[in-house]
Amino acid sequence: MTAHIEAKMGEIAKTVIMPGDPKRAEYIAKNFLSDYKCINNVRGMLGFTGKYKGEEVTVMASGMGMPSMGIYSYELFKFYDVENIIRVGSVGAYDPNLKLYDVLLATGSYSDSSFAYVQNGCEDLILFPSSTLNEKIEKAAINNNINIHKGLIYSGDVFYKENEDYKEMYEKYKCLGVEMESFALFHNANILSKKASCLLTVSNSFVTNEETTSEEREKSFNTMIKLALESVIENKC
């Protein structure tokens, strides 16, 4: 047990699928896992361990933003001996080629956040996922006929900006979209010698102003979820 996770040692699998929303974690467990049980409900941050096609996997929420992701991913890596975390979440698209419900695999995370610097003095502005884990996800996508986009994303601390210019992030920094957790996840994985990836579904577009509903974000990102789970099975993460 830790200050934030009540699971006992051995109740969390080596690979964790990590949505931000606790309700999405519950949805994944109920609709994709067999023989699942709740292993965490501290502060409502739901976590479940079960089996997907016979392989043990844990699905647990991270909460919103880098501070929350920083806590839960660190504790899972450090204190529960988790080897792989695959973040699954939503992304706001900067790239006009990204449409609603497209799946995006992050090849790097650019951020102006102070998270990494405060945590251990890291001054890097771009942090990277595990190339090994990303390759396994790509292989699973091919084997399951799932089309994915790949590219750099912006990981931000602020959701509501007074003067947001998405075009600068897209044109200057080559970020295809924005989310709020991957930078902290990649940092924790790097410093603890673990593996992390970030798999996202387009929930809204800054280009067209299209967006999905909150219910759709909770329950309709099945392609991304299936891909994350299939990468565990086919490639034995």
Whole-number pLDDT of residue 219: 66
Whole-number pLDDT of residue 160: 84
What are the per-10-residue average pLDDT scores of the chain (237 residues)? 92 97 95 97 97 97 97 98 97 96 97 96 97 96 96 94 84 96 98 98 94 76 95 75
Distance from C-alpha of 13 to C-alpha of 129, rounded to nearest angstrom: 20
Residues shown for the chain: 237
Pair type for strands 148-155 and 177-179: parallel
Q: Which CATH architecture does the domain made up of 15-235 adopt?
A: 3-Layer(aba) Sandwich (3.40)
Whole-number pLDDT of residue 218: 66
Instruction: Please give the model's pTM, rounded to 2 decimal places.
Output: 0.95
Whole-number pLDDT of residue 195: 98
Tally of CB atoms within 10 A around 152: 18
CA distances from 115 to 161, 168, 181, 182, 235 (A): 19, 22, 11, 11, 32
The span from the first CA to the last CA of the chain, in angstroms, equals: 24
Whole-number pLDDT of residue 1: 80
